[in-house]
Structure 1
Amino acid sequence: MRIDFGIKAIFILLILTLCAIFLHRSGALIISKNLFENNTILGFYKVDVGGTQSFLDDSQGYYISRCHIDTFVEAYAHCGFVLKFSDTDEQGINLSHYENIKIEASVEGPDKSIPIRFILRNFNDNYSKVDEYESLKYNALEYNPNDVPQVASAPLSAFQVERWWIKQRDIPFDEAQPEFTNIVELELVTGALKETGTYVLTLKQATFSGNLISESSLLKLVMVAWLMIILIISFHQHSQLEKISNTDSLTGLLNRRGIIKLFENKRLNIFSKQKLTMFYFDIDDFKSINDTMGHLIGDELLINFANNIKQLITRETKKKSLFSRLSGDEFALILFDFDKQQSCELAETIISEVAKPIRLSSCEFTVHASIGIASKNSQVSTFQELMGHADAAMYQAKKLGKNQYKYYDKEVEEAVYLRKKLAEHVHKAVNEGMFNLLFMPIVDTNTRTIERAEVLIRSDYPPLKKAGPAEFIPVAEEYGIIEKIDLWVLESVCKIIQENTKTFSRYSEFKICVNISSVELHNKQFVEQVKLLLKKYAINPRFIEIEITETSLVSTDQMSCDVLTELNELGFSLALDDFGTGYTAFSQLVNYPIHCLKIDRSFVSEIGNKTKDGAIVINAILSMAKSYKLETIAEGIETDEQYQYLKQHGCMMMQGYLFSKPMPWDDIHQFIL
């Protein structure tokens, strides 16, 4: 079983973190320095003040100062010795990274209460002078060795700087703190001697210890390590998501997003530097194969089709090329440095190769393809334009009878012009408010009462009235006008709900079903725009069901799922329209927050036919919907036979001319009441 990279990295770092903390707290990271080892001490001399006479002995491996005092010369008499760590009194040893000190020292003599002073002398250019002994900082620790264990332990924080030294040297506050960065001398002296006689001052050990790294520093390093791992994991996941979002999961080819991103990457500059030709093609009548044989067979056919094309390209041309699955059964082939004749010859070869039977696991198929070809020229400035030309040429090849190729020419250009003209009419209709809404009732199967109403957009503007939604909606999507239409429809529905608050409050289960374009699944502003509409009209979103076509989910990526999830979280219910016409495997439905499946009218119209193909698909959809606890709506009910069949097999709701034609809101409102 493959363990995710992120989980593995976090697990390893967690183990290392626990081990580091355990080692630190168990003392495994403690370091120490014994001043009597490794030739640390470079010299020593005795200290006798106030009439003391002393002798310093180091013959036993440690230091003994024997002091004798007969009479007191000064008010304060003491004796001791100094150990030197520097020849120049400038460059000593750094003890600042230690935390504790162990001192094994003793003093014997007539007075048992005599304390000793353990002084570490630090050199710092800010206040010290080489030829002035008292300029070295006095970091002092004073204690009575007779009152503590033989080996006394103390933290370095117990040291204090001698006050008289601070005052005498006029040391500022920020430099008046203990300092162990450059210790040049260790001084061990007795306190004031008040009785005559012989005193013996001994220093057997001075050992510093501390952690290799402080716990706070260790935790900081651990935090830095965690941050780095999180960044690496995030980068890795981003790369993986980027790869997934740019790759078709079925065939392993680049998807539409991936190939567009590749050629529009200014850093790579592929589009501007290369001579390009695009083949835009799809499988003729693939929908009927998918409908009759099911999605598994359809998917297998697409995989084999893609593999055959890849092998053909490799065999027929040695030049560089890129192959991509754009969506459904649509593919794109990018060729580098091909002229028109070479392109046409390759297109003929592809059409001939595609026509050969494709052997699947359970059957054999013969399919055909329509191909549109376009080459980059002075009139094509972007990859999207090149793709548009190839798409338009493919559309024209299908209109001419399919199973052929069409090069982008004047004829295709004229067809594109007419579509642009239609797009202008759509744009004008949006801006000047020349659209209106009709509502198709959706009834409960058992009671035949109106449960919902699907919004249908219409226009009295002659160019659009003649074309109809089936023509102008795809054009609106192609030319980026559909977002305005979607928002206009949603706002109109919100306004209706606001104006009929009492009706909707009384019939709380009633919903208005609004179709949105698949474009909105990649519109970053769409959810925010919907939120503004809800706030503006102060309505409850549970009265609206948003419908998306199943084909919208063919190349669903993370962003599409996020948009659907956010709409669901706002309170909208979601329906999958025209179900059975796309490529969504039943098991994939769990990935989407869908509440309702709408059975496409093409299957309903087959009810009663001898082949019974439509009935088989309907039964499968109803059975699957029951398993996933999804509501079902059948579209296009026109006969009592269709109604009775669907009722008998458990379809929850229906719509169609058997019950009602689309009607204005005022009429359907009266039906509801």
Structure 2
Amino acid sequence: MSGTSEGTGPTGVAVPGRARPKITERHQVGRSAAELRDYRAAFNAAHLAMAVVDQDGLVVTANAALATLFGAEPVDLLERTAADLVDLASDRRTWHAYREVLRGRRSRFRCTRRLKHPDGRALWAEVTVAPVPDSRNVLLSVADISDRRELHARLRHLQMHDAVTRLPNRTLFFERLASALESSAYDQGSTGRVGLCYLDLDGFKAVNDTLGHRVGDRLLAAVARRLTECADGDGYTRSGGHLVARLGGDEFAILVEDSTGTDQVADLARSVLVALQQPFDLDGQRLSVSASIGVVERTVAGTTATGLMQAADTTLYWAKADGKARWTLFDPERNAHRMTRQALSSTLRPAVERGEFALEYQPLVGLADGMTRGVEALVRWNHPQFGTLAPNRFIGIAEEDGSIVQLGRWVLRTACRQARRWQQEHPGVPPLFVSVNVAVRQVWDSDLVADVAEILAETGLAPHLLQLELTESAVMGSAGRPLQALQALSDMGVQIAIDDFGTGYSNLAYLSRLPVSALKLDGSFVRGFQDEAHPNPADETIVEALVQLAHRLGLTVTAECVETSGQASRLRSIGCDTGQGWLYSRAVAPDRIGAMIGVSALPG
């Protein structure tokens, strides 16, 4: 058809009679201007508080939501320093990350800040800084996450408190105890001491059995209130009030941070006994109870959470053995090995120099093929007076008096040298790794990272062939310097294992944030497999769940105290990686280990 032109429809097919629109430069400019107006309108109308910031960190433009957040008009925020508005310069790490985004060296930065609202209340904000495309500016956004933080705080409170008594639970108690021991050791304002009243109600089981758990729970709640009153009545320290916690069942603890001495904690124990002796009126039900209390008070230096709780538990046992309804102060002289302990303590340091220590090694065997994968180094003291002593007779003393540093360094050097010697003597098989126990005090009182690096260089042992074992309570309470040391060792290539896992206050979520490569399940799990004719399904289910969790976190699992082939078979079937125990070998001299290298321990 003449006199007409063709255009295209929505599908791109030519349509007769429709003129093709001509895209002019003016049309493009108009469209860009319209888009810019739309962007500006959306920016200003957005509920999310935002500002455009230039390379110098000054606000170029801000929307109404941001202005409202600071109780101002958008124009009042122009040329303001963005970092000052949202407190980005208060710590070096945050300030550096923010500057890197401004300079175009980092694509995005996010942090959480506590800001002050114009009405005086505090609010938590999530601050995000990201480059603006095709621009040298950045976009700063501020999201109010106060409700989210409050919900998180409520959930944590529920998680960390006992439902019956509303007191802090075992997890929170150990968290606070670890923090108290760690902070007091370096805080100049601290007394450097800590006290603990560890108590348990006498005859509480009879209350549950005769009157029922409902009455028992009411009694526990009433006891909790009286304990709190006693703790509050004892006064407040620099760190606040004493922590009263329910550790489980009818066991309670009162933690006295920055204690002023034994007299303070003993007076607190006396007041608790007096308070609990007054009858309880539970909805017309009149009950009388008593308690046994173990009292421990000591300097923070050289004290571990495990050591403190062991002392408290021992002292509580003494109080019950002495007739109940009383408090007893921990007395080292009362220990069965009192004289032996004193003699060992006085001779331990010179014994290292005299060469009285020796190492034996217990194999860690692959459950799938029976091959020896590694060994654990176990120190023995060939004491001239008391004969050969196992580690449990002197390691605690070494940790208390600080000689663990010197002894630990010797153990580490000797074990690495022996592992390298086995590697050279058996070049045709995969080399064994050697596992060495480390006490937390070795991290605090020495430069463990430097010691390990020096010994590895000296002996020629590859870092991945060294595994350092720490107890569960030590690792779970790690923060500050210990955690930094563990991370540095892991970065070096050294393997980190948690020993006796499952005996403490297993914070499983914490595992993902620790540089741990292996778990060693405590022997109590394996001992639950002993009755092979009537196995306990619960034990197997627990171990299987722990193994699966560990594997998902990229960790290997070693089962300790494997004594029978039946236990080994069941552990193998649920995926456990290695086993350690008398089934394979006791701790033996180095030459005996040499005979096991490259030889399967499986029958047939």
State the TM-score bracket (shorter-chain normalisation): 0.5 to 0.7
CA distance in 2, matches of 1:306, 1:574: 42
Three-state SS of the structure 1 residue aligned to 2:380 is strand
- Residue equivalent to 2:571: 646
CA distance in 2, matches of 1:342, 1:432: 46
- Residue equivalent to 2:165: none
Three-state SS of the structure 2 residue aligned to 1:632 is strand
Q: Over alpha carbons, which structure has the higher Rg? A: 1
- Residue equivalent to 1:55: none
- Residue equivalent to 1:175: none
Q: Which has the higher contact order (CA 8 A, sep 6+)?
A: 1
Structure 1 residues 313 and 385: CA distance shift in structure 2, 3 A: farther
| Correspondence 1:15 to 2:53 | yes
Three-state SS of the structure 2 residue aligned to 1:636 is coil
Three-state SS of the structure 2 residue aligned to 1:582 is coil
In structure 2, which of residues 586, 589, 600 is the aligned counterpart of residue 661 of structure 1? 586
Structure 1 residues 414 and 449: CA distance shift in structure 2, 3 A: closer
Does the CA-based 8 Å contact 2:367-2:579 persist in structure 1? yes
- Residue equivalent to 1:631: 556
Describe the superposition over 1:19-50 as per-residue Cα deviations: whole angstroms up to 9, x where unpaired.
73758xxxxxxxxxxxxxxxxxxxxxxxxxxx
Report deviation, 1:594: 1.9
Please give the residue correspondences for 1:327-476 in structure 2 after superposition, counting only pairs within 5 Å.
332-333=255-256, 342-348=267-273, 370-372=293-295, 395-399=314-318, 401=320, 405-407=327-329, 412=334, 419-462=341-384, 465=387, 467-476=389-398
CA distance in 1, matches of 2:281, 2:378: 43
Report deviation, 1:522: 3.7
Does the CA-based 8 Å contact 1:281-1:370 persist in structure 2? yes
The residue identity in structure 2 corresponding to 1:15 is V
Report deviation, 1:569: 1.0
Structure 1 residues 333 and 574: CA distance shift in structure 2, 3 A: same
Does the CA-based 8 Å contact 1:260-1:384 persist in structure 2? no
CA distance in 1, matches of 2:446, 2:225: 35
CA distance in 2, matches of 1:306, 1:470: 39
CA distance in 2, matches of 1:583, 1:410: 26
Report deviation, 1:456: 1.1
Describe the superposition over 1:202-259 as per-residue Cα deviations: whole angstroms up to 9, x where unpaired.
xxxxxxxxxxxxxxxx9xx96996999434566999x99xxxxxx9972597434436
Structure 1 residues 440 and 563: CA distance shift in structure 2, 3 A: same
CA distance in 1, matches of 2:557, 2:394: 28
- Residue equivalent to 1:563: 485
Describe the superposition over 1:130-167 as per-residue Cα deviations: whole angstroms up to 9, x where unpaired.
xxxxxxxxxxxxxxxxxxxxxxxxxxxxxxxxxxxxxx
Does the CA-based 8 Å contact 1:534-1:540 persist in structure 2? yes
Report deviation, 1:604: 0.9
Does the CA-based 8 Å contact 1:324-1:332 persist in structure 2? yes
Does the CA-based 8 Å contact 1:634-1:654 persist in structure 2? yes
Please give the residue correspondences for 1:134-173 in structure 2 after superposition, counting only pairs within 5 Å.
none
- Residue equivalent to 1:320: 235
| Correspondence 1:615 to 2:537 | no
The residue identity in structure 2 corresponding to 1:634 is A
Report deviation, 1:597: 1.7
Report deviation, 1:349: 5.2
Does the CA-based 8 Å contact 1:389-1:408 persist in structure 2? no
Does the CA-based 8 Å contact 1:254-1:325 persist in structure 2? no
Three-state SS of the structure 2 residue aligned to 1:672 is coil
Does the CA-based 8 Å contact 2:231-2:254 persist in structure 1? no
| Correspondence 1:553 to 2:468 | no
Report deviation, 1:406: 0.8
The alignment's C-alpha RMSD in Å is 5.0
Three-state SS of the structure 1 residue aligned to 2:596 is helix
Describe the superposition over 1:526-584 as per-residue Cα deviations: whole angstroms up to 9, x where unpaired.
11111111222232111112222212123222433322211111111222221111222
In structure 1, which of residues 481, 484, 487 is the aligned counterpart of residue 403 of structure 2? 481
Report deviation, 1:625: 2.4
CA distance in 2, matches of 1:356, 1:583: 34
Report deviation, 1:396: 3.9
CA distance in 2, matches of 1:649, 1:449: 18
Structure 1 residues 396 and 570: CA distance shift in structure 2, 3 A: same
CA distance in 1, matches of 2:361, 2:247: 30
Structure 1 residues 345 and 224: CA distance shift in structure 2, 3 A: closer
Report deviation, 1:383: 6.4
| Correspondence 1:281 to 2:198 | yes
Please give the residue correspondences for 1:229-244 in structure 2 after superposition, counting only pairs within 5 Å.
229-232=88-91
Please give the residue correspondences for 1:468-547 in structure 2 after superposition, counting only pairs within 5 Å.
468-503=390-425, 506-523=428-445, 525-547=447-469
Does the CA-based 8 Å contact 1:370-1:394 persist in structure 2? no
- Residue equivalent to 2:521: 599
- Residue equivalent to 1:115: none
The residue identity in structure 2 corresponding to 1:596 is A
Report deviation, 1:440: 0.6
Three-state SS of the structure 2 residue aligned to 1:436 is strand
CA distance in 2, matches of 1:384, 1:229: 37
Describe the superposition over 1:641-664 as per-residue Cα deviations: whole angstroms up to 9, x where unpaired.
212221222222112111222211
CA distance in 2, matches of 1:589, 1:555: 11
Three-state SS of the structure 1 residue aligned to 2:477 is coil
| % identical aligned pairs | 19
The residue identity in structure 2 corresponding to 1:425 is T
CA distance in 2, matches of 1:519, 1:319: 32
| Correspondence 1:581 to 2:503 | yes
- Residue equivalent to 2:142: none
CA distance in 1, matches of 2:302, 2:437: 28
CA distance in 1, matches of 2:247, 2:393: 20
Three-state SS of the structure 1 residue aligned to 2:89 is helix
The residue identity in structure 2 corresponding to 1:557 is A
The residue identity in structure 2 corresponding to 1:661 is R
Report deviation, 1:426: 2.3
Report deviation, 1:434: 0.7
Three-state SS of the structure 2 residue aligned to 1:650 is coil
Describe the superposition over 1:486-506 as per-residue Cα deviations: whole angstroms up to 9, x where unpaired.
211110122223434434654
CA distance in 2, matches of 1:433, 1:326: 46
Report deviation, 1:428: 2.6
Structure 1 length-normalised TM: 0.52
Does the CA-based 8 Å contact 1:328-1:583 persist in structure 2? no
Does the CA-based 8 Å contact 1:438-1:456 persist in structure 2? yes
Does the CA-based 8 Å contact 1:372-1:395 persist in structure 2? no
Structure 2 length-normalised TM: 0.57
CA distance in 1, matches of 2:548, 2:290: 31
Report deviation, 1:455: 0.9
CA distance in 2, matches of 1:491, 1:326: 43
The residue identity in structure 2 corresponding to 1:657 is W
Report deviation, 1:13: 9.2
CA distance in 2, matches of 1:626, 1:390: 31
Report deviation, 1:347: 4.3
Structure 1 residues 234 and 314: CA distance shift in structure 2, 3 A: farther
Structure 1 residues 341 and 575: CA distance shift in structure 2, 3 A: closer
The residue identity in structure 2 corresponding to 1:624 is L
Three-state SS of the structure 2 residue aligned to 1:425 is helix
Does the CA-based 8 Å contact 1:435-1:460 persist in structure 2? yes
